[in-house]
A and B are shown apart, each in its own frame.
Chain A
Amino acid sequence: MSDLALPRAGTGSKGGVRTLNLRRLGRRAALYLVLGAGALYAATPFVWMLLTSFKTHGEALTEPPTLLPKVWHFSNYVTAWQAAPFERYFLNTFFICFCVVIGISITSTLAAYAFARMEFYGRDVIFVMLLSTLMIPFETIIIPNFIIIRKLHWLNTYPALIVPWIASVFSVFLLRQFFSQLPQDLFDSAELDGAGHMRLLWSIVLPLSRGPLAAVTLFAFLGSWNSLLWPLIITNSQSIRPIQLGLTVFLGQEGSEPHLLMAASAFTIAPIILLYFVAQRQFMEGFASSGLKG
């Protein structure tokens, strides 16, 4: 992508090389200025969060604010961590995310395979039904889902936090798209050898689908990790709260302690940022493929 030469104004003209270079220089400067401003917008909250998280309570609240902490108080992180059961929150979240990711991978792979590689009665009807659920806004189904969970006596339990999210129409579509583009020859020859659908899925489709499966896993993980509204509605005890809700409660209790809040925000963000830096390529490709081909 970076070796693409784009047309530039004046390249065809016979004007003086000097003025051309100056103009080009000016354009490049403007370009980097805009990009730099955008980068500043993106980075400022992270920087400000970290800087505040090391200040004392008094320094955080000074007016006007200081830029760098006078003394770096790393102990704020320990104080914040001990001010609420964050350990429990994180464990809950890891458990919930793990179940959701595994669940979505299994249900989506199976369903996507059926849509992409099998012919069966009722396929189009079911496909359209699934497609239509993508247009339903979450606010429309949140009240009935709350009642359903209550009728199942699942309020305040792990299944309520997990089961409704272990299938995703979006993931089914993403995988179906990929599965149906796999070359037919692979399947024909395996079928001649007597392979059934289970076999085809396991030894042909799955090994070739690492990329899209990684994307589905990431989406599921991010969605589960970041959810707030659902846990807010169906839980009321500390012991099963996930981290985002834990942070929300912490924010309500410690609203006047910005240095602790920023420390808590920082360690809430940290695992995802780490994952992002480790798997950056998968993130980009995953989101990119969700875009135009999904």
Chain B
Amino acid sequence: MAVSIETRPTVTLPIGAAPPRRSRNRRKLRDTPLAYLFLAPALVVIATFHFFPVFYAFWISLRNWGVIDRGMLWFQNYDEALHDHRFWQSLGTTLYFAIGTVPVTMALACLIAYLLYQNVRFLGVFRTLYFLPYVTSTVASATVWLWIFDPRSGLANSLLGRLGIGHQRWMLEPKGIVQLLGSTVHLSVPGLLQGPSLALVAVIIMTIWHQLGFQVVIFLVGLGNIPRDTYEAARIDGANERQVFFRMTLPLLTPTFFFLTIISTISAFQAFNEIYIMSTNASTGGPGGPLGTTRTVMVNVFNQLQVNHRLGYGSAIAFVLFALILALTVMQVKLGGRFAHQQ
């Protein structure tokens, strides 16, 4: 029991100041059991299904765990992952997905929020509409987008046809978009530069649609937090609108950008529903198709669990991703911290 050495307060305390240390400690001791009683329900669930599983996952990743546990393998699963081209492909696909969704959504959301902030008429209508996709379930909306991208009678091809662009195979197209664009001018693009497959781009278009409204709302909050006198001061100083936007509004939105980058990067790395729905049901040969070009690490882990029944190997893959995300988050926080300091 940590009982501190008695210290007598040397000055009389004004009313409302912190009570003397000794009675505080006694109070802390008295409250501790009740506090743990309050925490218990949440802690038991979180410890069992969130905290402990991380360590358990590492243990599983060291073992030859198929449907049942068949003993220790040490780091063989990790060794296999590093030599598995499917793993590297899924890592690349995850990066494409994150890069395709996070910055684009943020730029669009920032623009739309800024425009909505300019005394727009029907602000409420616009905001309601933009936010609507975010509350609809990803399963149902991915079903609809799959239908929009239908190669035969989908809306997307019909619209492209009006613009004089040929029919695309969308979710059935494993070729990279850079390659597809290049082939229209008879240019062949080397492997690494082919870009994400058109199928992945279709999923990205759906994901941006789904996330946009949420980010718009967050940007509107960020804009509302900028004090009005800052604008007035800038105006008195004779700044024009572009200068105000780039030199003042954008830098003052840094915390919003920072927050959204972290939140949406995390959710991009965990995305599953829309990829699963759109790739499984386009007859591409299972989740992650065509030719594995939409198989993110998340889908890869799912396949190891549900299709291949290789729980040990799946855990190893998941753990490598965890390490990467951790490194990325630390980097973002450090970078973000430095930017915040410069303001």
Contacts and interface: CB of A to CB of B under 8 A. Distances in A.
B75 interface: no
Contacts of A130: 46
B334 interface: no
A228 B297 contact: no
A9 B240 contact: yes
A7 B231 contact: yes
Interface of A: 1-12, 31-32, 34-35, 38-39, 41-46, 48-49, 52, 60-65, 106-108, 110-111, 113-114, 118-123, 126, 129-130, 133, 135-148, 163-164, 166-167, 169, 172, 197, 222, 225-226, 228-229, 232-233, 244, 247-248, 251-252, 255, 258, 261-262, 264-265, 268-269, 272-273, 275-276, 280, 283-284, 287-288, 291-292
Given A52-B147, A121-B32, A229-B272, A113 B108 contact: no
A261 B153 CA distance: 15
A158 B103 CA distance: 39
B137 A143 contact: no
Contacts of A273: 132, 135-136
A120 B27 CA distance: 9
B218 to A, nearest CB: 4
20 contacts: A5-B119, A7-B235, A8-B241, A10-B240, A38-B108, A38-B130, A42-B133, A110-B39, A142-B302, A144-B52, A147-B56, A148-B56, A164-B49, A172-B42, A228-B138, A229-B273, A233-B302, A233-B306, A244-B140, A273-B132
Contacts of A9: 240-242
Given A6-B231, A273-B136, A248 B277 contact: yes
Nearest to A31: B115
B139 to A, nearest CB: 4
B123 A2 contact: yes
Question: What DSSP secondary structure best describes chain B's contact surface?
Answer: helix
Interface stretch (B173-181, B183-191, B208-216, B335-343): B208-216
Contacts of B232: 7
A136 B55 CA distance: 11
A126 B43 contact: yes
A212 to B, nearest CB: 15
B126 A39 contact: yes
Nearest to B33: A120
B45 to A, nearest CB: 4
Interface in B282-318: 283, 297-298, 301-302, 304-306, 311, 314-315, 318
A12 B238 contact: yes
Contacts of A143: 57, 60, 301, 304-305, 311, 314-315, 318
B168 interface: no
A62 to B, nearest CB: 6
A276 B132 contact: yes
B221 A292 contact: yes
B131 interface: yes
B35 A49 contact: no
B34 interface: yes
Contacts of A197: 31, 34, 38
A139 B137 contact: no
B138 A42 contact: no
Contacts of A164: 45, 48-49
B132 to A, nearest CB: 6
Contacts of A252: 280-281
Nearest to B137: A226
Nearest to B112: A38
Smallest CB-CB A-B distances: 8 pairs: A120-B35, A167-B45, A144-B53, A141-B53, A144-B56, A111-B42, A7-B235, A114-B38
Nearest to B2: A121
Contact of A42 (B60, B132, B224): B132
A46 B209 CA distance: 12
Contacts of A229: 272-273, 276, 302
B136 A169 contact: no
B6 to A, nearest CB: 19
A226 B139 contact: yes
B128 to A, nearest CB: 7
Contact of A119 (B24, B57, B120, B224): B24
Contacts of B82: none
B122 to A, nearest CB: 9
A268 B140 contact: yes
A141 B54 contact: yes
A94 B120 CA distance: 39
Contacts of A255: 281, 283
Given A119-B24, A142-B305, A247-B139, A265 B38 contact: no
Given A7-B241, A121-B28, A139-B270, 6 more contacts: A7-B232, A38-B212, A65-B155, A107-B41, A137-B266, A229-B302
B225 interface: yes
B99 interface: no
Contacts of A123: 35
Contacts of A139: 269-270, 297-298, 301-302, 318, 321
A238 B143 CA distance: 20
